[in-house]
Structure 1
Amino acid sequence: MKKSLKFLFPVIILLLAGCAKTEPDARQIVDAAIAAHGGDGYANATIDFDFRGRHYQSVRNGGEFRYSRAFADSTGEVLDVLDNSGFTRSVNGEIIALSATDSSRFANALNSVIYFALLPFPLQDAAVQPKKLADETINEQPYHTIEVTFQQSGGGKDFEDVFIYWFHRERNTMDYLAYKFYTDGGGIRFREAFNSRVVGGIRIADFHNFKPQDPDLPVQETAAAFQKNELTKLSEIVLENLSVSKN
């Protein structure tokens, strides 16, 4: 009997070890979030929305993309286009010449709006470097915490920026994000999703936009500060007249 027990205990330990749930790594968490928000549906879709008086469109066909925004100003009807070939600005249907500085500034502004609207889909880019931080509880809900930095090669002009994403442990939804940026004087922002909806198979949300009251607060600590009411609300990021169609 004693010999039988000696063999039985190691077997039980092995069985228990086999039943233990393996925690996903950072890339697996990001991939699960992309799938929960629409997955491959992003790669072949046309997404239209209005944001702060301007009309935006994202068209993707596999590796091909075309981002645009249309608005009117004192010069006339303006159409900005960013695609695989580069950036152009047209006024009243005519492409105009731009300085390298203006071209880069307009392209970055357009890309930034589309980038945030499509999150978390852009996190599949090769330049993205995800890192798993300690899980957090926000408003009594469990979250994976993922820090994202970027390789300089392929990371764009703002490759030094640092992003933090909070993905719900059960739903895989991106309910909060924060980022530290260095352009235009730099700063930190924290965003809380609301009005999350699924349109054409893709989940898109609006966001409450905050900044820390303490300018030296590490971006990794913004969720804790949010729960302590130590953030100041700056604005709301609201996408209107949203539509999604498959290409």
Structure 2
Amino acid sequence: MKLLNHKPFSFSIPIILLMLHFNPLVAQESVVDKAIEVSGMEKMKNAEASFTFRKHTYSYQRQNGQFTYIRIGKNKHGGLVRDVFTNKGFIRYIDDTVAPITEERKNAYTNSVNSVMYFAFLPLWLKDQAVVLENKGTTSIKGKEYHKIRVIFKKEGGGVDYEDVFLYWFDVEDYSMDYLAYTYFTGKGGMRFREAYNQRTVNGVTVQDYRNLQPKIKDGVPFEQIEKAFENGKLEELSIIELKNVKISTLPKI
């Protein structure tokens, strides 16, 4: 899953709306800018947050580009495991003692913690400097019209899985991010399609859960049109992505 670049974000909202008809890049960035604005995710650039996901407790702190992500759980022996990912790297603690781990395991744990944060606070990360946006026009899902935005990543700053491809669907009326999908190539590869539900606001920030789906038949769905497969019943539920006990507080920008 995509490792966050953590570089400063920049925004470019067009002043002259007519530019949208002549400059596709402005159009797609305008859609993402608006989605970030209405979701309140701008606040997460300088904020603290906590939530539970499955059997783990997560905490998020980000201020002036410095971040600390923590995952707390228990191992099979009942020991308290604390994974800490910061700008300086990753450390695993077991009962407050630094645990020796291989580089492979370190990368896997880093990726795991980071991916949870990535999905929890979308669409904020879509203005990362490694992101390349492409406007795919509008499409209809369940009778509603959506802006369809395709995302790929630059090799530099795009993480070890920079070849992953994402699709996002934003409501043309209120810019809510109701669906997303991605195709990945690590391991055996595959596709996922996520349908948002239980949308709620926590301290001005929109948080939502997802139904996580996959194609019923491997390689039987064209990724670029995966929303059509969803509507035609060609996807099956794989899991539920549910964040519980979400708390968010903003921090001052120093």
Instruction: Flag whether TM exceeds 0.5 (same fold).
Output: yes
**Offset of residue 218 of structure 1:** 2.1
Percent identity over the alignment is: 38
Task: Give the whole-Å Cα distance in 2 for the aligned partners of 1:118 and 1:20.
Answer: 31
* 1:221 match: 225
Matches within 5 A, 1:1-247: 22-23=20-21, 25-75=27-77, 76-216=79-219, 217-247=221-251
Normalised to the residue count of structure 1, the TM-score between the two structures is 0.89
The 3 A distance-change label for structure 1 pair 223 and 90 is: same
Whether the aligned pair in 2 keeps the contact of 1:82 and 1:88 (CA below 8 Å) is: yes
Whether the aligned pair in 2 keeps the contact of 1:127 and 1:150 (CA below 8 Å) is: yes
Higher helix share: 1
Task: Give the whole-Å Cα distance in 1 for the aligned partners of 2:28 and 2:222.
Answer: 20
Task: Give the whole-Å Cα distance in 1 for the aligned partners of 2:109 and 2:239.
Answer: 22
Structure 1 residues 59-78: Cα deviation after superposition (integer angstroms, max 9, x where no partner): 11021111110001134100
- What is the identity, as a one-letter code, of the residue corresponding to 1:211? Q
Structure 1 residues 30-60: Cα deviation after superposition (integer angstroms, max 9, x where no partner): 1111111114201111111101110011111
- What is the identity, as a one-letter code, of the residue corresponding to 2:161? D
- What is the identity, as a one-letter code, of the residue corresponding to 2:97? E
Normalised to the residue count of structure 2, the TM-score between the two structures is 0.87
The 3 A distance-change label for structure 1 pair 19 and 168 is: closer
The 3 A distance-change label for structure 1 pair 214 and 71 is: same
Task: Give the whole-Å Cα distance in 2 for the aligned partners of 1:196 and 1:59.
Answer: 22
Whether the aligned pair in 1 keeps the contact of 2:20 and 2:27 (CA below 8 Å) is: no
Q: Which has the higher contact order (CA 8 A, sep 6+)?
A: 2
Task: Give the whole-Å Cα distance in 1 for the aligned partners of 2:132 and 2:207.
Answer: 23
What runs of 5+ residues in structure 2 fail to find an aligned partner? Answer: 1-15
Whether the aligned pair in 1 keeps the contact of 2:41 and 2:123 (CA below 8 Å) is: no
* 1:3 match: none
> RMSD value over aligned CA atoms?
1.6
Q: Secondary structure at the match of 1:221?
A: helix
